[in-house]
Amino acid sequence: MSIVFAATHPERTAGLILTGTAARTLWAPDHPWGPSEADYLRSVEEEERRWGSEEHGLEVMRRYSPSVDDDFSPRWTAYLRQSASPGGYAAYRRMNMENDVRSVLPAIHVPTVVAHRAGDEVVPADAGRYLAEHIAGARYVELPGDDHSPFTGRTEELIAEIRRFLAAASHEPGWVEAEPDRVLATVLFTDIVGSTAKAAELGDARWRELLGEHNAVIRRQLARYRGKEVDTSGDGFFASFDGPARAIRCAQTIRDAVEPLGIELRTGLHTGECELVEGKVGGIAVHIGARVAEAAQPGEVLVSSTVKDLVAGSGLTFDDRGSPELRGVPGEWRLYAVRS
């Protein structure tokens, strides 16, 4: 959440401090510091079954805070019991399994320090180095110790690094106050299916009236979900959001709200780093969003894999639509349809 916030709202972010952090939970070919999905789910099932037992509490404490004396185990176990029910903890773990913010890292342009303990076995130090290497200007600091929890073990080194970082960052020219020229944003495009045929069927006067009703419906929903209208072109809308989940829910509501008008929409969303020009977003991320909308089926809300990765825990579900070619956009883009 901190990473996404820093990329989306740099004007509100003094600095970013990451400790014991990874960009992704599961193993991937280019991020080989996590379990497979099958192994992860097996561990969730086992922990849900044993959650709250003294034996389990001791194992968790030894893994996350090996420097803590075993005599502390009863208090640690009580802490786990008071934090979540077995089912709540399992749901939290399954949500975390979907976390993947690798695509967001290049969009961070605020002072950043990545601190990692050398012996951390929960999240290996290589995962911390990956973060620092993919965030522009980030400084990587490897600390002694093997605790994953930042609140146990040799905390004095971590606190000293945080103090140094804040002292240095606060003296940088234009720190925080400078207006950003690039931000992370979710762009939404809509297009009326078969608009030419519909206009011919209705005639000019009725078509103009229908377009006015369509526009009013969309603008009401944009206001409701805090979306910003960027442009309209004939029968299409282009809007931006500072949160992908809200953008998806807005798209679903718009789709359903125009249905009584006898209209179907193609809708596409993409999240990426956008240029800010006179308060409006632009850049390659916008072009990708438009091409995603082109690939959508009538009545479908189609999103890029980046959007899907960023809404873990939102309750939204998706169907894989493969990797169709996006006109004029290089590379392969995995697309997903939002389930109604």
Taking only the tens place, the pLDDT of each residue in 266-276 is 999 999 999 98
| Confidence category of residue 328, pLDDT binned at 50, 70, 90 | confident
- CA distance readout (Å), 208 to 195, 199, 254: 12, 9, 19
Q: How far apart are CA 107 and CA 212, in angstroms?
A: 37
Q: What is the pLDDT of residues 117-127, one digit of tens each?
A: 999 999 999 99
The domain defined by 2-169 carries CATH number 3.40.50.1820: yes
Ranges of beta strands (E only) in 138-179 are 139-143
Q: How far apart are CA 112 and CA 276, in angstroms?
A: 22
Ranges of beta strands (E only) in the chain are 16-19, 112-117, 139-143, 182-192, 228-233, 236-241, 265-277, 280-282, 301-304, 318-320, 335-338
| Confidence category of residue 246, pLDDT binned at 50, 70, 90 | very high
> Cα dihedral sign for 35, 38, 42, 45?
positive
What's the whole-number mean pLDDT along residues 90-100? 93
Q: Which amino acid is at 162?
A: I
Q: What is the pLDDT of residues 155-182, one digit of tens each?
A: 999 999 999 998 887 766 555 555 678 8
Looking at the chain, the whole-number percentage of residues with pLDDT higher than 90 is 87
3-class state of residue 3 by DSSP: helix
3-class state of residue 40 by DSSP: helix
Please give the DSSP secondary-structure letter assigned to residue 144: S
Can you give the pLDDT at residue 171?
67
3-class state of residue 38 by DSSP: helix
Q: What is the pLDDT of residues 7-44, one digit of tens each?
A: 999 989 989 999 999 999 999 999 999 999 999 999 99
Torsions phi, psi for 82 (to 5 deg): -80, -15
| Average pLDDT over all residues of the chain | 93
Beta-bridged to residue 270, according to DSSP, are 187
pTM of the model: 0.85
**Per-residue tokens: 128:** 């911390």
What's the whole-number mean pLDDT along residues 284-309? 96
Q: How far apart are CA 229 and CA 147, in angstroms?
A: 47
What's the whole-number mean pLDDT along residues 191-212? 94
Crossing angle for the helix pair 204-224 and 195-202, nearest 10 degrees? 130
Can you give the pLDDT at residue 338?
97
**Per-residue tokens: 190:** 């809509």
Can you give the pLDDT at residue 173?
55
Is the pLDDT at 323 greater than 80? The verdict is yes
| Confidence category of residue 332, pLDDT binned at 50, 70, 90 | confident
Domain layout of the chain by residue ranges: 2-169, 182-338
Can you give the pLDDT at residue 175?
52
Q: How far apart are CA 302 and CA 296, in angstroms?
A: 6
Length of the chain: 340
Compute the radius of gyration of the chain from its Cα atoms: 23
Can you give the pLDDT at residue 125?
96
Poorest-pLDDT segment among 131-135, 149-153, 166-170, 293-297? 166-170
Quickly tell me which residue has 């931006």 as its tokens: 240
Is the pLDDT at 97 greater than 90? The verdict is yes
Half-sphere exposure of residue 266: CA atoms within 13 angstroms, side-chain side: 17
Q: How far apart are CA 105 and CA 273, in angstroms?
A: 10
What's the CATH number for 182-338? 3.30.70.1230
